[in-house]
Amino acid sequence: MRRAFVLFGASLALGAALPLVLPVGRPAQRLRVASENSCLGAARVPAHIAPLPHFSRAVGEEGRVRIVAIGSSSTEGVGASSPAENYPSQLREMLAKALPAEAIEVVNLGVGGETAAETAARLREEIPRLHPDLVLWQVGANDGITGVPPEKYEATLRDALDFLKKTDTDVVLVGMQWTRRLAALPNYLPIRDVTARVARDAGVALVSRYDAMRQYGGAAGREEFTGPDHLHLNDKGYRCLAEQIAVTLSHAIDDNVISRVSSAQRLDRNPARSKPLD
């Protein structure tokens, strides 16, 4: 029997809870993932949530989902101990626990070092060819590091999102990472703020990776989610990023899909499966 897409909430283990920014009147939903103790704060990190109608339809009706993860080194997986530990691979494993393994496809199109303009050029070629239900675009960090003017970055981001809206695919922006060294760069916070503003204006979901990593780092008292270069994520960092994206997807999925899936899950309950942590 086909396993259901099961949703749940994780309790906050690190520091004080931060409010999750959700549209008024939209109930919070949760995605069942086997959460690491060090990542439990992901469910409460502020994020901009927007509906994902194409992703929801694929989950609820079609039974097959194609996700394209595109961006720079954080998508490619630089710093991970193996390709299986990058965030797209870990995200797929999380989603596959709730769906048949063949139902979730995550295509990793990460290329280390790219700026938003370089990734936007690839988007225009790859997205029409692949026809995904969802695009996860990790963006902004290299623009902040290399000093791309915020107004130029904003124009690139808005233009690319306009293009993606015409391709009948949903989009989630994955924001910039946080380290103390990166946060001190003069162009870094302006690029972060532009990303948040454009996401709100365009009505697309944003995964606030900067806020999550800053919260984790403050609670732990050290930057334990990056490698020796204090820039690229390590396996734990990629795990927490995958969890944060999974939680964002669960908040954005259509309520009607939630109801159908919850009903199917009750009919196909297996006590041996993982239980909610809350």
Q: How confident is the model at residue 230 (pLDDT cuts 50, 70, 90)?
A: confident
Whether 29 and 7 have beta carbons less than 8 Å apart is answered as yes
User: Does 32 map to a domain?
Assistant: no
Mean pLDDT of 253-257: 74
pLDDT at 269: 52
The confidence band for 2, taking pLDDT boundaries of 50, 70 and 90, is very low
Residue 31 lies in a domain: no
Q: How far apart are CA 111 and CA 99, in angstroms?
A: 28
Report the pLDDT value the prediction gives residue 162, as an integer from 0 to 100: 97
pTM: predicted TM-score of the whole model, two decimal places: 0.82
Q: Is residue 28 part of a domain?
A: no
Write out pLDDT tens, residues 97-152: 766 545 889 999 999 999 999 999 999 999 999 999 999 999 999 999 999 999 99
Tokens matching residue 224:
């334990």
Residue in the block written with tokens 């306009």: 162
Please count the other Cβ atoms lying within 10 Å of the Cβ belonging to residue 16: 9
Which residue segment(s) compose the domain that 227 sits in?
37-267
What mean pLDDT comes out for the span 172-188?
94
pLDDT of residue 212: 85
* The pLDDT of residue 57: 87
pLDDT at res. 255: 73
Alpha helix locations (H) across 100-234? 116-130, 141-146, 150-165, 180-183, 188-202, 209-220
Q: Give pLDDT tens digits for 19-72.
A: 334 433 333 445 565 566 667 655 556 678 899 999 988 887 777 899 999 999
190-199: pLDDT as tens digits = 999 999 999 9
**Looking at the predicted structure, is the pLDDT value of residue 6 above 50?**
no
Residue 225: pLDDT above 90? no
Determine contact, residues 181/149, Cβ cutoff 8 Å: no
- Per the structure, the count of domains in the chain is 1
Residue with the bigger pLDDT between 196 and 277: it is 196
* Banded pLDDT at 96 (limits 50, 70, 90): confident
**Beta strands across the sheet bearing 205-207:** 104-110, 65-71, 134-138, 170-174, 205-207
What is the distance between the alpha carbons of residues 25 and 4, in angstroms, rounded to a whole number?
26
- In this structure, is residue 210 part of a structural domain? yes
Residue 47 lies in a domain: yes
In this prediction, residue 24 carries a pLDDT of 35
Please report whether residue 273 resides in a domain. no
Domain harbouring 132, CATH code: 3.40.50.1110
The whole-number pLDDT of residue 9 equals 36
* In a domain? residue 24: no
Please name the residues in contact with 206: beta carbons below 8 A apart, sequence gap of 6 or more: 47, 48, 172, 173, 175, 195, 196, 199, 200
Q: Looking at the domain assignment, is residue 5 inside a domain?
A: no
Q: Cβ contacts of residue 101 below 8 Å, gap of 6+?
A: none
**CA separation, residue 141 to residues 76, 155, 181, 239 (Å):** 14, 16, 12, 19
Statement: residue 264 has pLDDT above 70: no
**Dmax of the chain from CA atoms?**
55
Phi, psi of 18 (to 5 degrees): -105, 145
Q: What pLDDT sits at residue 273?
A: 45
